[in-house]
Amino acid sequence: MSKAADTRMMILQKSFELIYRKGYQSTSIDEIIATTQVTKGAFYYHFKTKDDMGLSLITEVLYPGMYNVMIKPLEEGKNPAKDIYNVMENLLNDFVFFNPDYGCPAINLIEEMSPMNPVFKKALSKLVKQWQNAIVAALNKGKEAHIFTGTFVPEEVAMVVISGYGGVRNIGKALGKSSYKTYLKGLKTYLNKL
């Protein structure tokens, strides 16, 4: 990676951390250049506007990050119910960068930016759809393998699961990490009944 590309990625990474904790609109360019030690001229050399940077952040940091944790395990696993639970537990408990107080960066951006900027909305909805599709695909694979005892519509289960994740990230901001524990138990029971 060239030095310029390094600088660009460094700005994106640090901005990601700042925006994760403070929100997109409340994170100023001045604050970003202060913590990155990059001058304003450098920032605006790499990004046309703040929104250009925000969008790059979604596609270049959020997309790759989510794939490894939320999609890949579902593609590779054999037991969908178990795999979905493990992905969720991994996300909620083991991801040390994520703090219950600050929730999930992707969920935060959806909350804040989807209503404000249609370009953000589109990029973020793509993110959601990818996870949704991965869950549906995993459930269908399990159905074909006759793993499940009951009948269900994969799309509906996927929606309950991803909604549960987004919601518990929200509730966790108010009630703390204990919400995660209770939710995970409830999720396990739910998945076992499929």
Partner DNA sequence: TTGTCAACATACCAATTAGTATGTTATGTC
Partner DNA sequence: GACATAACATACTAATTGGTATGTTGACAA
Contact status: 45 vs its own copies (CB under 8 A): no
DSSP-based helix, strand, coil % in the chain, nearest 5? 75, 0, 25
Task: Mark the segment that binds its own copies (CB under 8 A) among 29-37, 50-58, 113-121, 141-149.
Answer: 113-121
Applying CB under 7 A, does 49 fall inside the site for DNA?
yes
Task: Give 29 or 160: the residue with its C-beta nearer to DNA.
Answer: 29
First to last CA, the chain: 47
Q: Of these partners, DNA, its own copies, none, which one is at the site of residue 185 (CB under 5 to 8 Å by kind)?
A: its own copies
| Residue 98 burial (CB count, 10 A) | 17
Binding DNA by CB under 7 A: which of 17, 31, 89, 111?
Answer: 31
Looking at 47-55, 92-100, 106-114, 145-153, which segment touches DNA (CB under 7 A)?
Answer: 47-55
Distance, in Å, from the CA atom of 184 to the CA atom of 180, rounded to the nearest integer, reads: 6
Residue among 155, 147, 127 at smallest CA distance from 194: 147
Residue 37: how many other CB atoms lie within 10 Å = 9
Applying CB under 7 A, the residues found at the interface with DNA are: 2-4, 7-8, 25, 27-31, 38-42, 44-46, 49-51
